[in-house]
């Protein structure tokens, strides 16, 4: 059933969810699809599967009334896909919330309702917001003000621009080091198609060292679903921005990572040196995009060359230094 909502004059109680929704819509306002509009208000399509229906409808219910957004809600796993396609064409933005990697019937093409919608979603990707595997953790993901995140990102980038070298220490005797001479990007919920705030990232082409990885994964290859959040058991050797060795006491994990690395030469390239800056994000091993914003280091392998798949290694702990100055050691010092 298609349901239409006009948010206005609602008596919304104070709650954590309300604050998270307010922060979320601060990001929505900064999305390019909204920034390019010349008129107030917008028609927003919100779709979810049954597992995320409560969260999706809470987002609609708690939308700040000053925005004058009108909403259409669809239940993706029951609504006729032709009707959903028409709604995608009609709307100014569509926000889809559904489980994919954590489903019992996991499929590389996504849940059964996605393939019929995929061509239309691809056609209108510039007005899409996909919140896969968020569910109950939506409140956590958007609980921090984007103004605070943006200011933190600016301070980190400013510190990086004053430095020449970066170091990462895993706390177990391992470390990585490299040169800081590349451009940084800030993901702070403003004017970016990736709406989730809380990251600064660059490339460190000469990144070199050996570390023990503990944390979780984010990828189209569902390592996180198989292994969750791992203890520091994966030893990784990197030379000049390429993974050259992996070892683990967990032989299945070692074999799976080696299979990924050997599948495509581009998978060995460290394409991204990222720092998560969203203080309230925790690691859950859900293969959810918000986990990449967890405070601290994440390394993005692959995705830059044809045929390679991007794999984020999101570290659960460690210390980051710019030159000899500690920037992060579980807390930020900028």
Report how far apart, in Å, the C-alpha atoms of 327 and of each of 13, 102, 242, 315 are.
38, 34, 24, 15
Residues 126 and 201 occupy one common structural domain:
no
What does the alpha-carbon distance between residue 187 and residue 292 come to, in Å, rounded to a whole number? 11
Residues 150 and 136 occupy one common structural domain:
no
Q: Which residues span the domain enclosing 280?
A: 146-328
**Domain endpoint, select from 101, 126, 141:** 141
Residues 10 and 154 occupy one common structural domain:
no
Residues 81 and 56 occupy one common structural domain:
yes
Model's pTM, two decimal places? 0.91
**Domain endpoint, select from 103, 118, 141:** 141
The string of pLDDT tens digits covering residues 216-230 is 999 988 899 999 999
The pLDDT value recorded for residue 3 is 52
What does the alpha-carbon distance between residue 20 and residue 12 come to, in Å, rounded to a whole number? 13
Residues 77 and 161 occupy one common structural domain:
no
The pLDDT value recorded for residue 201 is 98
Residues 45 and 19 occupy one common structural domain:
yes
**Domain endpoint, select from 112, 141, 170:** 141
Q: CB–CB of 155/147 below 8 Å?
A: no
The answer as to whether 267 is a domain residue is yes
3-class DSSP state for residue 215? strand
Q: 120-129, 257-266, 299-308: which range is least confident on average? A: 299-308
The answer as to whether 333 is a domain residue is no
DSSP character at residue 305: S
The string of pLDDT tens digits covering residues 161-219 is 999 999 999 999 999 999 999 999 999 999 999 999 999 999 999 999 999 999 999 99
The pLDDT value recorded for residue 87 is 98
The string of pLDDT tens digits covering residues 4-38 is 444 333 333 447 899 999 999 999 999 999 999 87
The answer as to whether 313 is a domain residue is yes
Mean pLDDT (whole number) for 132-140: 93
Residues 317 and 174 occupy one common structural domain:
yes
* Overall domain count for the chain: 2
Residues 133 and 259 occupy one common structural domain:
no
Mean pLDDT (whole number) for 292-300: 98
Residues 153 and 115 occupy one common structural domain:
no
- Token pair, residue 284, equals 């859950």
Residues 176 and 225 occupy one common structural domain:
yes
**CATH number of the domain encompassing residue 134:** 3.40.50
Report how far apart, in Å, the C-alpha atoms of 314 and of each of 149, 223, 232, 275 are.
19, 12, 12, 9
Residues 205 and 305 occupy one common structural domain:
yes
The answer as to whether 42 is a domain residue is yes
pLDDT over 90 (residue 140):
yes
What Rg, from alpha-carbon coordinates, does the chain have?
20
- Token pair, residue 121, equals 């979603």
The pLDDT value recorded for residue 41 is 87
The answer as to whether 105 is a domain residue is yes
pLDDT over 50 (residue 43):
yes
The answer as to whether 85 is a domain residue is yes
Residues 134 and 171 occupy one common structural domain:
no
What distance, in Å, lies between the first and last C-alpha atoms of the chain?
50
Number of CB atoms found within 10 A of residue 230's CB? 20
């Amino acid at each position: 059933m298609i349901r239409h909502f006009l948010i206005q004059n609602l008596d919304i109680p104070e709650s954590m969810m309300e604050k998270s929704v307010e922060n979320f819509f601060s990001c929505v306002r900064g999305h390019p699809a909204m920034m390019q509009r010349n008129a107030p208000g917008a028609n927003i399509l919100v779709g979810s599967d049954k597992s995320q229906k409560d969260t999706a409808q809470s987002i609609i219910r708690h939308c700040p009334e000053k925005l004058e957004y009108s909403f259409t809600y669809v239940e993706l796993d029951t609504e006729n896909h032709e009707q959903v396609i028409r709604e995608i064409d009609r709307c100014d933005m569509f926000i889809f919330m559904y489980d994919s990697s954590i489903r019992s019937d996991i499929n590389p093409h996504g849940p059964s309702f996605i393939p019929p919608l995929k061509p239309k979603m691809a056609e209108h990707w510039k007005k899409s917001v996909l919140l896969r595997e968020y569910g109950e953790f939506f409140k956590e993901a958007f609980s921090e003000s984007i103004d605070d995140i943006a200011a933190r990102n600016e301070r980190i980038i400013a510190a990086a621009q004053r430095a020449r070298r970066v170091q990462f220490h895993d706390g177990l005797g391992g470390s990585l080091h490299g040169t800081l001479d590349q451009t940084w990007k800030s993901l702070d919920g403003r004017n970016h198609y990736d709406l989730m705030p809380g990251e600064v990232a660059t490339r460190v082409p000469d990144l070199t060292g050996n570390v023990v990885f503990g944390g979780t994964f984010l990828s189209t290859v569902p390592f996180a679903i198989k292994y969750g959040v791992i203890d520091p058991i994966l030893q990784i050797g990197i030379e000049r921005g390429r993974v050259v060795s992996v070892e683990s006491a967990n032989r299945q994990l070692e074999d799976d990572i080696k299979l990924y690395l050997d599948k495509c030469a581009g998978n060995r390239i460290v394409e991204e040196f990222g720092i998560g800056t969203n203080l309230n994000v925790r690691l859950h091993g859900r293969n959810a995009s918000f986990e990449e914003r967890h405070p601290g280091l994440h390394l993005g392998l692959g995705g830059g060359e044809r045929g390679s798949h991007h794999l984020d290694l999101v570290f659960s702990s460690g210390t980051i230094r710019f030159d000899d100055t500690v920037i992060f050691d579980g807390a930020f010092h900028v």
